[in-house]
Amino acid sequence: MITLSATLSFIAVVGLLTLTPGMDTALILRTAAVGDTRRAWGVVTGIQTGTLAWGALTSAGVTALLTASHVAYEVLRWAGACYLTWMGLTMLWSTLRRRGIAPDVPPEPTGDAFLPGWRRGALTNLLNPKVGAFYVALLPQFIPAGAPAFGAGLLLTAVHIGLGAVWSTVLVLLARRLRRALQRPLARRVLDRITGTVIAGFGVRLALSDH
C-alpha cells in the first residue's frame, strides 16, 4: 500500500493547495457570512463530494480519458465556464441592482437550505475539468508500483477531503463569528462583489484556458 513518506508528501502538497485562497474559499466564506448556516455546510459538503467524485474517477482511470478526449474536455470546460461566470455576474448584478442588503443568489430557500448549498458546491467542483486534470497529474505520483490503484487513490482522496473539511470548518466558524459585521449593507455588498469577481474570474479564465 501507500508508504508513510508518500502519504506525508501528499498531505504537504494538497495541504498547501487547500490553504491557498481561491474560488472555494470565497464561496464558503460568503455563504457562511450572509447565508443560512445549513446552506454553508451544504456548500462545504458539495465541494468535498466533487473532490470524492474526481478522486474515484481518476483512480478508476476515467478522468485520464477525459483529459485525453478533446471533445469531452471542451464540453465540460465550457459548461463550467458558463456556470461560474453566470454565478459570479449574478452576484455582482445583485449588488448594483440594490443598495440595501443584497439578496442571496439564488434567493435563500424557504425550506431546508442544505440541498441548494450542496448543489452549488458540487457543481462548482464537478464542472471544473482542471480539478480532474490535477488529479490525473498528482495521484499517480504518490501511488507505489504494485499497489492497487483504485484503493490507494481513494485513500489519498480521503486524506484530501479530510484536510479540506477541516479547513472549511475553520472558514465557516470564522465567517459566523464575523456574521454581524459582514451582514451590514455596505459590508455585504463589498463581500458579494469580491466573491462575484473571484468566481466570474475563474469562469473567464477557464473559458480562455487551453486544454
pLDDT tens by residue, 33-64: 887 889 999 999 999 999 999 999 888 877 66
Domain definitions of the chain by residue range: 4-208
- In the block, residue with C-alpha cell 449588488: 95
- The answer to whether the beta carbons of residues 112 and 38 sit under 8 Å apart is yes
pLDDT band at 96 (very low <50, low <70, confident <90, very high): confident
Residue 211, pLDDT > 60, answer no
Largest Cα span, the chain: 61
User: Considering the entire predicted model, what is its pTM?
Assistant: 0.78
Residue 104, pLDDT > 80, answer no
pLDDT digits (tens, 9 = 90+) for 112-152: 689 999 999 999 998 887 787 788 778 878 877 777 888 88
- The answer to whether the beta carbons of residues 25 and 171 sit under 8 Å apart is yes
Grid coordinates in use for 41? 455546510
- The answer to whether the beta carbons of residues 27 and 43 sit under 8 Å apart is yes
CA pseudo-torsion sign 202, 28, 55, 76: negative
- In the block, residue with C-alpha cell 440541498: 115
What does pLDDT average to over the chain? 81
- The answer to whether the beta carbons of residues 125 and 44 sit under 8 Å apart is no
pLDDT digits (tens, 9 = 90+) for 171-195: 999 988 887 777 777 777 887 788 8
